[in-house]
Amino acid sequence: MNTAGKTIIFFLVTPMLIALTNTVAFAAAVPISVAIPSSTPPYVIQKNQTGIVLNILKKALKSSGYTAKITVLPKARVLREFKNKRYTAAFGLPKLNFQYPVFFSEPIMKIQYIAISLKSKKLLIDKVSQLTNKRVTAVQSAATFLGSSYKAMTLINPNYDEITSQKKQLSLLIKDRTDIIIMEQRTLLYVVNLLQLDNKVKPKFNIHPIFGPSNSYFTFHNSQVRDAFNQGLKALKKSPEFQKIINFYFDT
């Protein structure tokens, strides 16, 4: 066969090979079930299954051969459903002693829970025990992940409550229906922006950093899936896209 003939065959075969490669890559995307705690904007925004954590998960898995099938659950149910192995992965679980091997991802990002009061109250709060005689309204399940001292405080404080809505938390504080609210610092910023609080309201808050920062993780039942996620996460963190995902919820 002459050179011209070979060239024709090359151009005929190449599109077929490309199509075949794409088909194989598509078929290799294995869905994994992921349990995600609700009511944690901007990390998880349930309405359209978006948010910082969900977008990081999707991006990190995109090139790993897996795709996430996400179920958003109340925080209290995530650990129970994961323990019962109804989901391959979950977000936001404490590093407990499980009865069987589980596999934690590399840290996603640092998160920082804070106590917030009104400046007009002039509260001096620099340790958890000082919350005991205050009206405290915290995020759902805070007693399970903010440490033993915090848990002890919740057991003896008759005015302690946990609610799912961060917007309601802020509203209760502004209306002086609670003394202290407990939420994550990016969540506070997000909700303040969402509610479009004017400059007369924003300076009224006092921030009490009585909790240390902590890392957030995904937890997996399968080490192979965990390793694939870690690989995608590492690549994502090295790219500008990672910070763009975070900034999006504060720049818009």
Predicted confidence pLDDT, tens digits, the chain (252 residues): 444 444 433 333 444 444 444 444 445 678 999 999 987 889 998 888 889 999 999 999 987 889 999 999 988 799 899 999 999 999 988 887 777 899 999 999 999 999 999 999 999 999 999 999 999 999 988 998 899 999 999 999 999 999 988 999 999 999 999 999 999 999 998 888 877 766 666 668 999 999 999 999 999 999 999 999 999 999 999 999 999 999 998 864
Longest CA span, the chain: 92
Determine the topology of domain 111-213 in CATH: D-Maltodextrin-Binding Protein; domain 2 (3.40.190)
Residue among 103, 44, 66, 105 at smallest CA distance from 237: 105
Could you check whether 29-109+216-251 and 111-213 share the same CATH topology? yes
CA distance 35 to 81: 8
- Domain 29-109+216-251 in CATH 3.40.190.10: yes
Coil, helix or strand at residue 181: strand
Q: How many Cβ atoms sit within 10 Å of the Cβ of residue 43?
A: 26
Strands 30-37, 66-73: parallel, antiparallel or unpaired by DSSP?
Answer: parallel
| Helix, strand, or coil (residue 37) | strand
Burial of 141 (0-12, 13-18, 19+ CB in 10 A): buried
Instruction: Return the amino acid letter for 50.
Output: T
Q: What is the distance between the alpha carbons of residues 6 and 4, in angstroms, rounded to a whole number?
A: 5
Domain ranges of the chain: 29-109+216-251, 111-213
Which tokens in the block code for residue 65?
A: 């051969």
Chain-centre distance for alpha carbon 173: 24
